[in-house]
Amino acid sequence: MERIELSAELSLPKIVESGQCFRPVRLENGLYRLISGQNILYCRQHSPHELEISCGKEEWEAVWVSYFDLKSDYRALCETAEENAFLSAALEHGRGLRILRQDHWEMLISFLLSQRKSIPAIRTSIQKLCQRYGAVRRTAYEEAVFLFPTPEALRKAEPEELCSCGLGYRVSYVKDAAEKVLCGALPLQDLEALDDEALFDQLCRVRGVGKKVANCVMLFAYGRYERVPSDVWIQRIVEKKYAGREPFSAWRGAGILQQHLFYYALKHKEEFTK
């Protein structure tokens, strides 16, 4: 492994615990494993601006700089918001958070599965899917790592087997997504060229994709910073900290700021459940 200096502040623990990703894991001795498509990265954090990484510089630049969104200046973006005491506290608490640019297909399926599930339950379902239907890769760290299942694999999967992975009523959602991708009705890579509203409309053509799921996919796979996924925690934040008036429409890069507020709420649940 070699050490690399980062152009932006980054916190692996905060990213892994932020609710935007479900497969990164912390191993022993402060080592983390992350997966992006076919690429597997082991890394260890030494400071907010220094990582020890298992890949070469070419792969780092080609895959992981984009994955961690390291070319975006979040601090400058956050300064454009009209800060109040709560936002300031959330931004400070979340220093090092990055909006990951994750695989389109993986994010679509992951957030379809996320509906009415806790974060641990989502992780468990996705792990079972990968172990049953994903290709296996053996790494230099003596691990058998399962990649995310392809659309072909999930289209062929028996509904009963998918149910055993904890999908429940979401089986039909996954089947419809796989079919639309494979028949060309939903060309996920080509959707990058669409503006936000057109992308939103295309994603909502998949069975089970509503406003929240579409906004999650747009933010965490397509890097659309103005999209704000809203769940019970965001609703509680708006009620308790903003007198019921959502602040996001006035903020540039609202999705990034929303992620900081969401992470703060996850770590301070007592403030929002009284």
Give the number of other Cβ atoms within 10 Å of residue 85's Cβ: 8
Are 58 and 123 part of one and the same domain? no
Is pLDDT above 80 for 75? no
- The domain of 178 spans 104-222
Taking a C-beta distance cutoff of 8 angstroms, is the pair 133, 154 a contact? Answer: yes
Final residue of a domain: which of 70, 96, 117?
A: 70
Residue 268 lies in a domain: no
Element (DSSP H or E) covering residue 47? strand 39-47
Percent of the chain with pLDDT over 90: 78
- DSSP output for 70-122: TTS-HHHHHTTS---HHHHHHHHHTTT-------HHHHHHHHHHTTT--HHHH
pLDDT > 70: percent of the chain: 98
Rounded Cα distance between 59 and 147, Å, is 18
Residues 65 and 120 in one domain: no
Residue 84 lies in a domain: no
Strand partners, 47: 50
In the chain, helix, strand, coil percent, each to 5?
50, 10, 40
Asked if residue 19 and residue 109 are part of one domain, the reply reads: no
Tokens 């379809």 map to which residue?
Answer: 112
Q: Same structural domain for residues 64 and 113?
A: no
Looking at the predicted structure, is the pLDDT value of residue 169 above 70?
Answer: yes
- What are the pLDDT digits (tens) for 40-68? 999 999 999 999 999 999 999 999 999 99
141 Cα distance to chain centroid = 25
- Do 126 and 192 sit in the same domain of this protein? yes
What local confidence, expressed as pLDDT, does residue 253 receive?
87
How many whole angstroms separate alpha carbon 60 and alpha carbon 233? 34
Residue 77 has pLDDT above 90, yes or no: no
205 is a domain residue: yes
170 & 216 share domain:
yes
Does residue 117 sit in the same domain as residue 186?
yes
Pick the closest to residue 210 from 140, 120, 141, 115 (CA basis).
115
Last residue of a domain, one of 222, 239, 259: 222
Whether residue 146 is found in the same domain as residue 217: yes
pTM of the predicted model, to two decimals? Answer: 0.93
CA separation for the pair 34, 67 (Å, rounded)? 10
Q: What is the DSSP letter of 207?
A: T
Q: Does residue 233 belong to any structural domain of this protein?
A: no
115 and 210, same structural domain? yes
How many structural domains compose the chain? Answer: 2
Assign 116 a pLDDT band (cuts: 50, 70, 90): confident
Mean pLDDT of 94-121: 93
Reported as a single tens digit per residue, the pLDDT across 236-269 is: 999 999 989 988 888 888 999 999 999 999 999 8
Asked whether the beta carbons of 272 and 237 are under 8 A apart, the reply is yes
Q: Is residue 155 part of a domain?
A: yes
Q: Is there a domain that residue 255 lies in?
A: no
Whether 238 is covered by a domain: the verdict is no
Task: For 212-231, write each residue's pLDDT tens digit.
Answer: 999 999 999 999 999 999 88
Beta bridge partner(s), residue 145: 137
pLDDT over 70 at 80, yes or no: no
pLDDT of amino acid 255: 93
Residue 87 has pLDDT above 90, yes or no: no
Place of tokens 């989502």: 122
CATH code of residue 197: 1.10.340.30
Exposure string over 207-235, b if 16+ CB within 10 A, otherwise e: ebbeebbbbbbbbbbbbbbbbbbbeebbe
**Shared-domain flag, residues 30 and 129:** no
Residue 58 tokens, joined:
């070419």
Instruction: Give the model confidence (pLDDT) of 154-166 as tens digits.
Output: 999 999 999 999 9
Per-residue exposure over 28-42, b if at least 16 CB sit within 10 Å of its own CB, e if not: eeebbbbbbeeebbb
pLDDT exceeds cutoff 90 at 86: no
